[in-house]
Amino acid sequence: MSLQIVPIHLKNDIQPTDDLVDLILSSSKTKLENGDVLVISQKIISKHEGRVVNIESIIPSELSIGIASAYNKDPKLVQAILSESERIVRMDHGVIIVQTKHGFVCANAGIDESNVENGYATLLPKNSDKSAQEIRLKILQQTGKKIAVIISDTFGRPFRMGQTDQAIGISGMDAILHYEGTSDTFGKLLRVTATAVVDELCSAAELVMGKTKKIPAAIIQNFEFKENTGNIQSLIRSDEEDLFK
């Protein structure tokens, strides 16, 4: 059977008091089945978990004021970025690339002012693996269906223009499909091939989710995976293997 991606449209903006799983299940026109993959955007996870900050309430440090002046940014937003960051990777052309406390390397520590009330911004969830697991287990409890859940966010990419959606949280499957030790179609032994399938699924789901359609989740059907306890850290390259640090 061919891969199918089913969008889930939510009529209203998510609130911390909402039952997120109930909303997803009741809003989906397709029932979840065993082996489905549910991809959910970071934005509604952050909103549901209260990871929303009033930018105006932030008191910037001297460092934030200095960076903001040099790169034409709001010092309060810069302070929010630094508060969510482990280190600054690069600053240039008005862009601040950091390594977040989760280990992600991205612009502005993943802080996003889009699709949120003016004057506010969303922060990344504190632990997206945990968020994904809680959703997966609640769906299992309510429906009896064994699925995988991926939390996705939009990241830029070094050396290529444009953004793609990537996984920032996983539950129920491995992040990477390893081919080492198998043979290709010509019988040659594969030694290093490893596909980041959760990132590919996020990008595929984004094609129906978009940024302006009020579709913050999608069900991917007919994708074969082995049920497993994967986590997002398996996608983060170690310092020893990173050629660009």
Q: Under CATH, which architecture does the 4-49+126-232 domain have?
A: 2-Layer Sandwich (3.30)
- 85 closest CA partner among 70, 58, 103, 60: 103
- Give domain 53-121's CATH number out of 3.90.1660.10, 3.40.50.2300, 2.40.40.20, 1.10.10.10: 3.90.1660.10
What pLDDT does residue 190 have?
A: 67
What pLDDT does residue 199 have?
A: 96
53-121 has the same fold as 4-49+126-232: no
> Which residue did the predictor score with more confidence, 103 or 193?
103
Q: Write the Ramachandran bin of 172: left for phi over 0, alpha for psi from -120 to 50, otherwise beta.
A: left
Sequence spans of domains, the chain: 4-49+126-232, 53-121
The pLDDT of 195-210, averaged and rounded, is: 93
> Which residue did the predictor score with more confidence, 161 or 177?
161
Walk across the sheet containing 95-100 and list its strands: 85-92, 95-100, 105-107
What pLDDT does residue 117 have?
A: 87
What pLDDT does residue 210 have?
A: 79
Asked whether the predicted pLDDT for residue 201 surpasses 90, the reply is yes
Q: What is the pTM of this model?
A: 0.93
Separation CA 164–CA 199 (nearest Å): 9
Q: pLDDT tens across 41-88, in order?
A: 999 999 999 999 999 999 999 999 999 998 888 999 999 999 999 999
Average pLDDT, the chain: 91
Separation CA 161–CA 84 (nearest Å): 25
The pLDDT of 231-242, averaged and rounded, is: 87
> Which residue did the predictor score with more confidence, 182 or 17?
17
Q: pLDDT tens across 113-139, in order?
A: 888 888 999 999 999 999 999 999 999
* Confidence band of 239 (pLDDT split at 50, 70, 90): confident
What pLDDT does residue 238 have?
A: 84
